[in-house]
Structures are given as structure tokens and as C-alpha cells.
Amino acid sequence: MTCKKCHIQMREEKRTFHKQRKWICPRCGAVRFQLTKKTDKK
Ligand SMILES: [Zn+2]
């Protein structure tokens, strides 16, 4: 996951929010959520 503005690698937040991965840009502080894939079966 890279920041759209800075084009650098974002760091992943340890917490998950509604089965979404939270990514934070260390440069501009932008937050993005990555949807978990449906193929993720238990
Ligand atoms: Zn950024």
C-alpha cells in the first residue's frame, strides 16, 4: 500500500477496523483502508 500523494510505502496500523487494514502515511499522515479479500476463508 502506497500513498497516492507521496508515492511512498505506508505503515500498517496494528489494529483492524471492520475487517479492514488501516494504513497511515508517515509523511503526510493520510489514512487509507484496505478491504480484506473475500478469498480469506477461515
Ligand atoms: Zn503521503
pTM above 0.85, yes or no: no
Q: Kindly give the distance from the C-alpha atom of residue 41 to the centroid of ligand 1, in angstroms, as a whole number.
A: 32
For 31, how many CA atoms within 13 A lie in the half-sphere containing its CB? 6
Per-residue pLDDT tens over the stretch 1-42 = 999 999 999 999 988 878 889 999 999 999 999 887 765 555
Grid cell of 18 as nine digits: 471492520
Rounded distance from Cα 9 to ligand 1 centre (Å): 9
- SS3 of 31, please? strand
* Domain boundaries, position 11: 1-42
Q: How far is CA 24 from its chain centroid?
A: 6
Query: What's the gap in Å between 6 CA and the centre of ligand 1?
Result: 4
Whether the CB-CB separation of 12 and 23 falls below 8 Å is answered with: yes
Report how far ligand 1's centroid is from the alpha carbon of 15 (Å). 20
C-alpha 26: how far from its chain's center?
A: 12
How many domains does one find in the chain?
1
